[in-house]
Chain A
Amino acid sequence: MSKIVILGSGIAGHTAASHLRRKLSKKHEVLVVSPNWNYQWIPSNIWVGIGRMQPEQIIFPLEPLYKKKGINFKQAKVVSFHPEGDDSTLPYVVVEYVFGEQKGETEKVAYDYLINATGPKLAFDLTEGLNPGTDDVYSVCTYDHAQHAASGLEKLIEKAKNSSSKLKVLIGTGHAKATCQGAAFEYILNVEQELRRRKVRDKVSIKWITNESTLGDFGMDGMLLSYQGKPMKSSDMVEMVFRDREIEWILGAGVNKIDQGKAFYENLEGEKKTEEFDFAMLIPAFSGHGFKAYDQQGGDITPKLFKGFMVVDADYTVKPYEEWTVQDWPETYQNPSYPNIFAPGIAFAPPHSISRPRKSPNGTEIFPAPPRTGMPSGITAKLVADNIIDSIKSGKESLHHRGSLGNMGAACIASAGYGLITGSGVSITTFPIVPDYKKYEKTGGRDIKKTFGDIGLAGHWVKLSLHYAFIYKAKMKPFWWLIPE
Protein backbone atom coordinates (compact mmCIF):
# COMPACT_ATOMS: atom_id res chain seq x y z
CA MET A 1 0.00 0.00 0.00
CA SER A 2 1.25 3.49 -0.85
CA LYS A 3 0.26 6.83 0.56
CA ILE A 4 0.30 9.85 -1.73
CA VAL A 5 0.01 13.23 -0.07
CA ILE A 6 -0.95 16.23 -2.20
CA LEU A 7 -0.35 19.69 -0.82
CA GLY A 8 -2.82 22.13 -2.36
CA SER A 9 -6.22 21.79 -4.01
CA GLY A 10 -5.99 24.24 -6.88
CA ILE A 11 -5.95 23.23 -10.53
CA ALA A 12 -2.72 21.20 -10.16
CA GLY A 13 -3.43 19.61 -6.78
CA HIS A 14 -7.03 18.71 -7.56
CA THR A 15 -6.13 17.34 -11.01
CA ALA A 16 -3.42 15.12 -9.52
CA ALA A 17 -5.72 13.87 -6.73
CA SER A 18 -8.54 13.09 -9.19
CA HIS A 19 -6.37 11.05 -11.54
CA LEU A 20 -4.58 9.22 -8.72
CA ARG A 21 -7.87 8.20 -7.15
CA ARG A 22 -9.37 7.06 -10.44
CA LYS A 23 -6.41 4.93 -11.47
CA LEU A 24 -5.21 3.51 -8.16
CA SER A 25 -7.03 0.84 -6.21
CA LYS A 26 -8.52 1.77 -2.83
CA LYS A 27 -5.73 0.01 -0.95
CA HIS A 28 -3.59 3.04 -1.78
CA GLU A 29 -4.34 6.22 0.13
CA VAL A 30 -4.72 9.61 -1.59
CA LEU A 31 -4.69 12.50 0.89
CA VAL A 32 -5.17 16.17 0.02
CA VAL A 33 -3.92 18.77 2.50
CA SER A 34 -5.18 22.25 1.72
CA PRO A 35 -6.08 25.34 3.74
CA ASN A 36 -8.95 25.98 1.30
CA TRP A 37 -12.38 24.54 1.89
CA ASN A 38 -13.55 25.34 -1.63
CA TYR A 39 -12.29 24.52 -5.09
CA GLN A 40 -12.35 27.62 -7.28
CA TRP A 41 -12.20 27.84 -11.04
CA ILE A 42 -9.79 30.78 -11.10
CA PRO A 43 -10.11 31.72 -14.82
CA SER A 44 -13.70 32.88 -14.20
CA ASN A 45 -12.69 35.27 -11.40
CA ILE A 46 -12.61 38.11 -13.93
CA TRP A 47 -16.37 37.74 -14.41
CA VAL A 48 -16.92 37.81 -10.63
CA GLY A 49 -14.78 40.96 -10.65
CA ILE A 50 -17.26 42.79 -12.88
CA GLY A 51 -20.32 41.44 -11.07
CA ARG A 52 -21.54 39.28 -13.97
CA MET A 53 -20.95 36.03 -12.07
CA GLN A 54 -21.37 35.25 -8.39
CA PRO A 55 -18.66 33.41 -6.42
CA GLU A 56 -21.08 30.48 -5.93
CA GLN A 57 -20.92 29.87 -9.68
CA ILE A 58 -17.17 29.28 -9.68
CA ILE A 59 -16.62 27.41 -6.41
CA PHE A 60 -17.75 24.23 -4.70
CA PRO A 61 -16.81 22.59 -1.36
CA LEU A 62 -14.11 19.95 -1.64
CA GLU A 63 -14.68 17.77 1.42
CA PRO A 64 -18.08 16.28 0.40
CA LEU A 65 -16.69 15.44 -3.05
CA TYR A 66 -13.53 13.90 -1.63
CA LYS A 67 -15.54 11.89 0.91
CA LYS A 68 -17.70 10.49 -1.89
CA LYS A 69 -14.72 9.64 -4.08
CA GLY A 70 -12.50 8.12 -1.39
CA ILE A 71 -9.96 10.91 -1.22
CA ASN A 72 -8.91 11.87 2.31
CA PHE A 73 -8.83 15.58 3.13
CA LYS A 74 -7.27 17.72 5.85
CA GLN A 75 -8.06 21.42 5.92
CA ALA A 76 -4.58 22.45 6.95
CA LYS A 77 -1.52 24.28 5.70
CA VAL A 78 1.94 22.78 5.41
CA VAL A 79 4.48 24.15 7.87
CA SER A 80 7.71 22.23 7.17
CA PHE A 81 9.14 19.43 5.04
CA HIS A 82 11.04 16.42 6.44
CA PRO A 83 11.92 14.35 3.36
CA GLU A 84 14.18 11.96 5.31
CA GLY A 85 11.65 11.39 8.09
CA ASP A 86 12.99 10.74 11.54
CA ASP A 87 13.95 7.61 13.49
CA SER A 88 10.42 6.27 13.64
CA THR A 89 8.62 7.47 10.55
CA LEU A 90 8.59 7.63 6.79
CA PRO A 91 9.28 11.01 5.17
CA TYR A 92 6.70 13.48 6.41
CA VAL A 93 5.44 17.04 6.35
CA VAL A 94 4.23 18.96 9.38
CA VAL A 95 0.82 20.50 8.79
CA GLU A 96 -1.22 22.93 10.86
CA TYR A 97 -5.01 22.77 10.87
CA VAL A 98 -6.67 26.06 9.91
CA PHE A 99 -10.32 25.26 10.66
CA GLY A 100 -12.57 23.47 13.13
CA GLU A 101 -11.85 22.02 16.54
CA GLN A 102 -8.28 21.15 15.61
CA LYS A 103 -7.50 24.71 14.45
CA GLY A 104 -3.94 25.64 15.41
CA GLU A 105 -2.90 22.02 16.10
CA THR A 106 0.02 20.56 14.17
CA GLU A 107 0.44 17.00 12.94
CA LYS A 108 3.07 14.89 11.19
CA VAL A 109 1.72 13.57 7.90
CA ALA A 110 3.86 10.73 6.53
CA TYR A 111 3.97 9.87 2.83
CA ASP A 112 5.43 7.54 0.24
CA TYR A 113 4.99 10.16 -2.50
CA LEU A 114 4.52 13.88 -2.04
CA ILE A 115 3.05 16.26 -4.61
CA ASN A 116 3.70 19.89 -3.77
CA ALA A 117 0.97 21.83 -5.58
CA THR A 118 0.89 24.79 -3.24
CA GLY A 119 0.97 27.32 -6.09
CA PRO A 120 2.21 30.83 -5.43
CA LYS A 121 1.99 33.12 -2.46
CA LEU A 122 0.21 36.28 -3.58
CA ALA A 123 2.97 38.64 -2.46
CA PHE A 124 1.00 41.88 -2.02
CA ASP A 125 3.52 42.78 0.69
CA LEU A 126 6.26 43.22 -1.93
CA THR A 127 4.54 46.40 -3.15
CA GLU A 128 4.08 49.06 -0.49
CA GLY A 129 0.41 49.91 0.03
CA LEU A 130 -0.90 47.23 -2.34
CA ASN A 131 -3.67 45.86 -0.13
CA PRO A 132 -6.59 44.51 -2.14
CA GLY A 133 -9.87 46.15 -1.25
CA THR A 134 -8.29 49.25 0.29
CA ASP A 135 -7.44 52.63 -1.19
CA ASP A 136 -9.50 51.93 -4.38
CA VAL A 137 -7.07 49.20 -5.43
CA TYR A 138 -8.33 45.67 -6.02
CA SER A 139 -7.27 42.19 -7.13
CA VAL A 140 -9.04 39.37 -8.99
CA CYS A 141 -6.62 36.64 -7.88
CA THR A 142 -9.19 34.90 -5.65
CA TYR A 143 -12.99 34.83 -5.72
CA ASP A 144 -13.31 36.97 -2.58
CA HIS A 145 -10.84 39.53 -3.96
CA ALA A 146 -12.86 39.53 -7.19
CA GLN A 147 -16.07 40.09 -5.25
CA HIS A 148 -14.50 43.16 -3.59
CA ALA A 149 -13.39 44.36 -7.03
CA ALA A 150 -16.98 44.08 -8.30
CA SER A 151 -18.18 46.26 -5.37
CA GLY A 152 -15.44 48.79 -6.13
CA LEU A 153 -16.40 48.87 -9.79
CA GLU A 154 -20.04 49.40 -8.87
CA LYS A 155 -19.04 52.39 -6.71
CA LEU A 156 -17.00 53.79 -9.58
CA ILE A 157 -19.95 53.47 -11.96
CA GLU A 158 -22.26 55.28 -9.52
CA LYS A 159 -19.64 57.99 -9.02
CA ALA A 160 -19.17 58.36 -12.79
CA LYS A 161 -22.89 58.91 -13.29
CA ASN A 162 -22.74 62.04 -11.12
CA SER A 163 -19.26 63.22 -12.00
CA SER A 164 -18.52 66.19 -14.23
CA SER A 165 -14.87 65.24 -14.66
CA LYS A 166 -13.43 62.05 -16.13
CA LEU A 167 -12.62 59.29 -13.65
CA LYS A 168 -9.53 57.13 -14.05
CA VAL A 169 -9.22 53.35 -14.17
CA LEU A 170 -5.80 51.73 -13.96
CA ILE A 171 -5.39 48.00 -14.58
CA GLY A 172 -2.29 45.81 -14.99
CA THR A 173 0.65 44.60 -12.92
CA GLY A 174 1.42 45.86 -9.42
CA HIS A 175 5.06 44.83 -9.23
CA ALA A 176 8.17 45.07 -11.43
CA LYS A 177 8.34 41.26 -11.74
CA ALA A 178 4.67 40.30 -11.61
CA THR A 179 3.23 37.67 -13.92
CA CYS A 180 -0.31 36.74 -15.01
CA GLN A 181 -0.66 39.66 -17.43
CA GLY A 182 -3.31 37.58 -19.21
CA ALA A 183 -5.75 37.86 -16.30
CA ALA A 184 -5.25 41.63 -16.10
CA PHE A 185 -5.68 41.87 -19.90
CA GLU A 186 -9.00 40.03 -19.64
CA TYR A 187 -10.12 42.18 -16.76
CA ILE A 188 -9.38 45.50 -18.46
CA LEU A 189 -11.39 44.48 -21.53
CA ASN A 190 -14.28 43.27 -19.37
CA VAL A 191 -14.27 46.47 -17.32
CA GLU A 192 -14.23 48.52 -20.53
CA GLN A 193 -17.23 46.63 -21.88
CA GLU A 194 -19.07 46.84 -18.56
CA LEU A 195 -18.61 50.63 -18.49
CA ARG A 196 -20.04 50.82 -22.01
CA ARG A 197 -22.97 48.60 -21.05
CA ARG A 198 -23.66 50.85 -18.05
CA LYS A 199 -23.40 53.93 -20.31
CA VAL A 200 -20.58 55.66 -18.43
CA ARG A 201 -17.68 54.80 -20.74
CA ASP A 202 -17.35 58.44 -21.91
CA LYS A 203 -16.87 59.50 -18.29
CA VAL A 204 -13.98 57.15 -17.57
CA SER A 205 -10.48 56.94 -19.02
CA ILE A 206 -8.89 53.50 -18.92
CA LYS A 207 -5.16 52.85 -18.77
CA TRP A 208 -3.10 49.63 -18.92
CA ILE A 209 0.06 49.61 -16.80
CA THR A 210 2.47 46.73 -17.23
CA ASN A 211 5.99 45.51 -16.57
CA GLU A 212 6.08 44.13 -20.13
CA SER A 213 8.42 46.03 -22.46
CA THR A 214 5.96 45.58 -25.33
CA LEU A 215 2.24 44.96 -25.46
CA GLY A 216 1.29 41.31 -25.81
CA ASP A 217 4.47 39.95 -24.20
CA PHE A 218 2.34 38.09 -21.61
CA GLY A 219 5.52 36.92 -19.86
CA MET A 220 6.19 34.66 -22.84
CA ASP A 221 8.48 36.97 -24.84
CA GLY A 222 5.48 37.80 -27.04
CA MET A 223 4.69 35.67 -30.06
CA LEU A 224 4.28 35.69 -33.78
CA LEU A 225 0.86 34.30 -34.49
CA SER A 226 -1.42 33.66 -37.38
CA TYR A 227 -4.33 36.14 -37.49
CA GLN A 228 -6.84 35.93 -40.34
CA GLY A 229 -4.37 33.71 -42.18
CA LYS A 230 -1.50 36.18 -41.98
CA PRO A 231 1.43 36.39 -39.55
CA MET A 232 0.98 39.06 -36.88
CA LYS A 233 2.92 39.94 -33.74
CA SER A 234 1.00 39.61 -30.49
CA SER A 235 2.07 43.21 -29.72
CA ASP A 236 0.26 44.43 -32.87
CA MET A 237 -2.81 42.37 -32.02
CA VAL A 238 -3.10 43.75 -28.49
CA GLU A 239 -2.43 47.29 -29.73
CA MET A 240 -5.21 46.87 -32.30
CA VAL A 241 -7.63 45.78 -29.55
CA PHE A 242 -6.58 48.60 -27.18
CA ARG A 243 -6.89 51.27 -29.88
CA ASP A 244 -10.33 49.94 -30.80
CA ARG A 245 -11.43 50.15 -27.14
CA GLU A 246 -9.67 53.52 -26.56
CA ILE A 247 -7.45 52.08 -23.85
CA GLU A 248 -4.13 53.85 -23.24
CA TRP A 249 -1.04 52.03 -22.02
CA ILE A 250 2.15 52.43 -19.98
CA LEU A 251 4.92 49.91 -20.73
CA GLY A 252 7.97 48.78 -18.78
CA ALA A 253 6.52 50.00 -15.50
CA GLY A 254 7.62 48.54 -12.17
CA VAL A 255 4.95 49.65 -9.69
CA ASN A 256 6.55 49.98 -6.25
CA LYS A 257 4.04 51.87 -4.12
CA ILE A 258 0.33 52.60 -3.86
CA ASP A 259 -0.87 55.52 -1.79
CA GLN A 260 -4.26 57.26 -1.73
CA GLY A 261 -5.27 56.75 -5.34
CA LYS A 262 -1.76 57.03 -6.74
CA ALA A 263 0.47 54.34 -8.22
CA PHE A 264 4.18 55.10 -8.01
CA TYR A 265 6.39 53.37 -10.53
CA GLU A 266 9.79 53.33 -12.16
CA ASN A 267 10.02 52.70 -15.87
CA LEU A 268 12.70 51.07 -18.00
CA GLU A 269 14.15 54.51 -18.77
CA GLY A 270 14.76 54.91 -15.04
CA GLU A 271 12.16 57.67 -14.66
CA LYS A 272 10.13 57.70 -11.45
CA LYS A 273 6.52 58.54 -12.20
CA THR A 274 3.06 58.60 -10.68
CA GLU A 275 -0.30 57.60 -12.08
CA GLU A 276 -3.56 58.63 -10.43
CA PHE A 277 -6.63 56.42 -10.35
CA ASP A 278 -10.15 56.20 -9.00
CA PHE A 279 -10.24 52.42 -9.43
CA ALA A 280 -7.31 50.06 -9.93
CA MET A 281 -6.82 46.33 -10.29
CA LEU A 282 -3.17 45.39 -10.04
CA ILE A 283 -1.77 41.83 -10.08
CA PRO A 284 0.76 41.34 -7.26
CA ALA A 285 4.10 39.55 -7.48
CA PHE A 286 3.96 35.79 -6.97
CA SER A 287 6.50 34.29 -4.61
CA GLY A 288 7.27 30.99 -2.91
CA HIS A 289 5.73 30.34 0.51
CA GLY A 290 9.00 30.42 2.42
CA PHE A 291 8.80 26.77 3.48
CA LYS A 292 11.64 25.18 5.43
CA ALA A 293 13.01 21.66 5.04
CA TYR A 294 14.96 19.56 7.54
CA ASP A 295 17.00 16.36 7.37
CA GLN A 296 16.79 13.40 9.74
CA GLN A 297 19.01 15.14 12.31
CA GLY A 298 17.00 18.37 12.13
CA GLY A 299 19.56 20.19 9.99
CA ASP A 300 18.28 22.84 7.59
CA ILE A 301 18.23 21.45 4.04
CA THR A 302 15.90 24.06 2.57
CA PRO A 303 18.13 24.78 -0.48
CA LYS A 304 17.79 21.11 -1.54
CA LEU A 305 14.05 21.57 -1.85
CA PHE A 306 13.47 25.24 -2.51
CA LYS A 307 14.76 28.15 -4.55
CA GLY A 308 11.78 30.29 -3.63
CA PHE A 309 9.57 27.72 -5.35
CA MET A 310 10.42 23.98 -5.34
CA VAL A 311 13.58 22.71 -7.02
CA VAL A 312 12.80 20.19 -9.79
CA ASP A 313 14.58 18.67 -12.79
CA ALA A 314 15.34 22.02 -14.44
CA ASP A 315 18.78 23.38 -15.33
CA TYR A 316 19.25 26.22 -12.86
CA THR A 317 22.69 27.22 -14.11
CA VAL A 318 22.84 31.00 -14.28
CA LYS A 319 23.50 32.05 -17.88
CA PRO A 320 22.71 34.97 -20.18
CA TYR A 321 19.44 35.22 -22.12
CA GLU A 322 21.20 34.36 -25.39
CA GLU A 323 22.19 30.95 -23.97
CA TRP A 324 18.79 29.96 -22.64
CA THR A 325 17.29 26.87 -24.26
CA VAL A 326 14.08 24.90 -23.95
CA GLN A 327 16.18 22.08 -22.49
CA ASP A 328 16.57 24.21 -19.33
CA TRP A 329 12.90 23.59 -18.52
CA PRO A 330 11.80 20.61 -16.39
CA GLU A 331 10.16 17.51 -17.85
CA THR A 332 9.07 15.39 -14.88
CA TYR A 333 8.82 17.99 -12.06
CA GLN A 334 10.69 15.61 -9.76
CA ASN A 335 12.96 16.95 -7.05
CA PRO A 336 16.54 15.79 -7.84
CA SER A 337 17.46 15.12 -4.19
CA TYR A 338 14.29 13.33 -3.14
CA PRO A 339 12.77 11.37 -6.04
CA ASN A 340 9.44 10.80 -4.28
CA ILE A 341 8.71 14.56 -4.24
CA PHE A 342 7.18 16.36 -7.23
CA ALA A 343 6.06 19.95 -7.87
CA PRO A 344 3.69 20.52 -10.82
CA GLY A 345 1.77 23.68 -11.69
CA ILE A 346 3.03 26.96 -10.30
CA ALA A 347 4.86 25.32 -7.36
CA PHE A 348 8.05 24.50 -9.25
CA ALA A 349 10.96 26.93 -9.50
CA PRO A 350 11.40 27.96 -13.14
CA PRO A 351 15.00 27.93 -14.41
CA HIS A 352 14.65 31.56 -15.53
CA SER A 353 12.04 33.86 -17.00
CA ILE A 354 10.73 33.40 -20.54
CA SER A 355 10.70 37.10 -21.40
CA ARG A 356 14.04 38.82 -21.92
CA PRO A 357 15.28 40.22 -18.58
CA ARG A 358 15.51 44.02 -18.54
CA LYS A 359 16.84 46.56 -16.05
CA SER A 360 16.31 50.26 -15.65
CA PRO A 361 19.45 52.46 -15.54
CA ASN A 362 18.97 52.43 -11.74
CA GLY A 363 19.41 48.64 -11.71
CA THR A 364 15.74 47.80 -11.08
CA GLU A 365 14.75 44.58 -12.82
CA ILE A 366 11.49 45.19 -14.71
CA PHE A 367 10.16 42.22 -16.67
CA PRO A 368 7.44 39.60 -16.28
CA ALA A 369 7.99 36.34 -14.44
CA PRO A 370 6.98 33.25 -16.44
CA PRO A 371 3.27 32.39 -16.45
CA ARG A 372 2.39 28.76 -15.64
CA THR A 373 -1.28 28.88 -14.93
CA GLY A 374 -4.37 26.96 -16.10
CA MET A 375 -3.72 24.46 -18.82
CA PRO A 376 -0.01 23.75 -18.11
CA SER A 377 -0.83 23.32 -14.40
CA GLY A 378 -3.38 20.65 -15.24
CA ILE A 379 -1.13 18.91 -17.77
CA THR A 380 1.94 18.83 -15.50
CA ALA A 381 -0.17 17.60 -12.55
CA LYS A 382 -1.61 14.76 -14.63
CA LEU A 383 1.79 13.63 -15.89
CA VAL A 384 3.17 13.65 -12.33
CA ALA A 385 0.17 11.57 -11.20
CA ASP A 386 0.67 9.16 -14.11
CA ASN A 387 4.35 8.67 -13.26
CA ILE A 388 3.50 7.95 -9.61
CA ILE A 389 0.76 5.51 -10.67
CA ASP A 390 3.18 3.68 -13.02
CA SER A 391 5.85 3.59 -10.30
CA ILE A 392 3.44 2.12 -7.75
CA LYS A 393 2.05 -0.45 -10.18
CA SER A 394 5.43 -1.57 -11.52
CA GLY A 395 7.21 -1.42 -8.17
CA LYS A 396 10.07 0.62 -9.62
CA GLU A 397 10.54 4.28 -10.49
CA SER A 398 8.89 5.20 -13.78
CA LEU A 399 9.29 8.61 -15.38
CA HIS A 400 7.82 7.71 -18.74
CA HIS A 401 5.42 10.67 -18.81
CA ARG A 402 7.15 13.92 -19.64
CA GLY A 403 5.97 17.41 -20.43
CA SER A 404 8.31 20.33 -20.85
CA LEU A 405 6.80 23.78 -21.34
CA GLY A 406 9.13 23.82 -24.35
CA ASN A 407 7.14 20.99 -25.92
CA MET A 408 3.62 21.80 -24.77
CA GLY A 409 0.91 23.99 -26.22
CA ALA A 410 -1.47 26.27 -24.38
CA ALA A 411 -4.77 27.86 -25.22
CA CYS A 412 -5.36 31.28 -23.71
CA ILE A 413 -8.96 32.25 -24.23
CA ALA A 414 -9.09 35.80 -22.96
CA SER A 415 -12.54 37.12 -22.29
CA ALA A 416 -12.99 40.56 -23.80
CA GLY A 417 -16.51 41.15 -22.53
CA TYR A 418 -19.39 39.17 -21.02
CA GLY A 419 -22.72 38.56 -22.77
CA LEU A 420 -24.33 35.78 -24.79
CA ILE A 421 -24.63 37.97 -27.89
CA THR A 422 -22.65 41.05 -26.90
CA GLY A 423 -19.66 39.22 -25.44
CA SER A 424 -16.27 38.90 -27.04
CA GLY A 425 -13.05 37.00 -26.60
CA VAL A 426 -9.45 37.17 -27.75
CA SER A 427 -8.46 33.56 -28.38
CA ILE A 428 -4.76 32.83 -28.56
CA THR A 429 -3.15 29.42 -28.81
CA THR A 430 0.58 29.00 -28.63
CA PHE A 431 2.96 26.13 -29.22
CA PRO A 432 5.27 25.74 -27.47
CA ILE A 433 4.76 27.84 -24.34
CA VAL A 434 8.51 28.41 -23.96
CA PRO A 435 9.79 29.50 -27.37
CA ASP A 436 12.16 27.09 -29.08
CA TYR A 437 14.26 29.51 -31.12
CA LYS A 438 16.32 26.69 -32.66
CA LYS A 439 13.45 24.50 -33.82
CA TYR A 440 11.23 27.37 -34.99
CA GLU A 441 13.97 29.78 -35.96
CA LYS A 442 12.00 31.77 -38.53
CA THR A 443 8.75 32.16 -36.59
CA GLY A 444 9.93 33.60 -33.30
CA GLY A 445 10.36 30.25 -31.55
CA ARG A 446 6.78 29.09 -32.13
CA ASP A 447 5.05 26.73 -34.55
CA ILE A 448 3.01 29.23 -36.58
CA LYS A 449 0.52 26.50 -37.56
CA LYS A 450 -0.38 25.99 -33.91
CA THR A 451 0.03 29.61 -32.76
CA PHE A 452 -2.92 31.67 -33.83
CA GLY A 453 -5.16 34.48 -32.68
CA ASP A 454 -8.81 35.27 -33.19
CA ILE A 455 -11.16 37.96 -31.92
CA GLY A 456 -14.92 37.77 -31.62
CA LEU A 457 -18.06 36.47 -29.95
CA ALA A 458 -17.00 32.84 -30.52
CA GLY A 459 -14.10 33.38 -28.12
CA HIS A 460 -16.54 34.34 -25.37
CA TRP A 461 -18.59 31.21 -26.03
CA VAL A 462 -15.42 29.08 -25.90
CA LYS A 463 -14.41 30.64 -22.56
CA LEU A 464 -17.92 30.12 -21.18
CA SER A 465 -17.96 26.49 -22.41
CA LEU A 466 -14.60 25.90 -20.73
CA HIS A 467 -16.00 27.34 -17.50
CA TYR A 468 -18.83 24.78 -17.43
CA ALA A 469 -16.72 21.90 -18.78
CA PHE A 470 -13.92 22.34 -16.25
CA ILE A 471 -16.26 22.74 -13.29
CA TYR A 472 -17.99 19.54 -14.45
CA LYS A 473 -14.59 17.86 -14.67
CA ALA A 474 -13.47 19.18 -11.27
CA LYS A 475 -16.67 17.82 -9.69
CA MET A 476 -15.63 14.41 -11.06
CA LYS A 477 -19.01 13.82 -12.67
CA PRO A 478 -19.49 10.84 -15.03
CA PHE A 479 -16.72 10.50 -17.65
CA TRP A 480 -14.96 13.61 -16.33
CA TRP A 481 -11.61 12.18 -17.39
CA LEU A 482 -12.59 12.41 -21.07
CA ILE A 483 -12.26 16.21 -20.83
CA PRO A 484 -8.58 16.97 -21.48
CA GLU A 485 -6.56 19.17 -19.17
Chain B
Amino acid sequence: MKQKITKSQKAYMQNPIIQFFKFIYLNVRIIRIVAGGHGGTRK
Protein backbone atom coordinates (compact mmCIF):
# COMPACT_ATOMS: atom_id res chain seq x y z
CA MET B 1 0.00 0.00 0.00
CA LYS B 2 1.46 3.33 -1.08
CA GLN B 3 1.71 6.21 1.37
CA LYS B 4 -1.40 8.38 1.62
CA ILE B 5 -1.81 12.00 2.59
CA THR B 6 -3.78 11.84 5.85
CA LYS B 7 -6.26 14.46 7.07
CA SER B 8 -3.83 15.69 9.70
CA GLN B 9 -1.06 15.99 7.11
CA LYS B 10 -3.42 17.99 4.90
CA ALA B 11 -4.23 20.33 7.77
CA TYR B 12 -0.48 20.77 8.33
CA MET B 13 0.09 21.44 4.62
CA GLN B 14 -2.54 24.19 4.54
CA ASN B 15 -1.92 25.80 7.95
CA PRO B 16 -0.73 29.35 7.11
CA ILE B 17 1.25 29.79 10.34
CA ILE B 18 3.16 26.52 10.04
CA GLN B 19 3.58 27.11 6.33
CA PHE B 20 5.00 30.58 6.91
CA PHE B 21 7.93 29.00 8.76
CA LYS B 22 8.12 26.29 6.10
CA PHE B 23 8.27 29.06 3.46
CA ILE B 24 11.37 30.53 5.14
CA TYR B 25 12.88 27.07 5.50
CA LEU B 26 12.27 26.23 1.84
CA ASN B 27 13.78 29.50 0.66
CA VAL B 28 16.91 28.92 2.74
CA ARG B 29 17.27 25.35 1.42
CA ILE B 30 16.75 26.42 -2.18
CA ILE B 31 19.21 29.31 -1.89
CA ARG B 32 21.78 26.96 -0.33
CA ILE B 33 21.46 24.63 -3.31
CA VAL B 34 21.67 27.50 -5.80
CA ALA B 35 24.47 29.28 -3.92
CA GLY B 36 26.22 25.94 -3.47
CA GLY B 37 27.49 26.58 -6.96
CA HIS B 38 28.14 24.42 -9.96
CA GLY B 39 31.13 23.28 -11.91
CA GLY B 40 32.55 20.76 -14.30
CA THR B 41 32.77 17.02 -13.93
CA ARG B 42 35.87 16.36 -16.00
CA LYS B 43 39.39 16.52 -14.61
Contacts and interface: CB of A to CB of B under 8 A. Distances in A.
Interface residues of A, number: 43
A408 interface: yes
Contact of A240 (B2, B30, B38, B42): B2
Nearest to A454: B26
A236 B23 CA distance: 23
Identify the interface centre among B20, B22, B35: most chain A CB within 10 Å of its CB: B22
A70 B19 CA distance: 42
B41 A409 contact: no
Contact of B26 (A422, A424, A462, A485): A462
Nearest to B30: A411
Contacts, number: 97
Contacts of B19: 456-458, 461
B30 A429 contact: yes
A441 to B, nearest CB: 15
Contact of B39 (A240, A402, A422, A461): A402
Interface in A386-434: 402-404, 406-409, 411, 413, 421-422, 424, 427, 429, 431
Interface residues of B, number: 28
Contacts of B4: 240, 243-244
Given A408-B38, A484-B35, A424 B20 contact: no
17 contacts: A240-B4, A326-B41, A327-B42, A329-B41, A402-B38, A403-B40, A404-B39, A407-B40, A409-B38, A411-B30, A424-B13, A429-B33, A456-B12, A456-B14, A456-B22, A457-B13, A462-B26
Interface of B: 2-5, 12-16, 19-20, 22-23, 25-27, 29-31, 33-36, 38-42
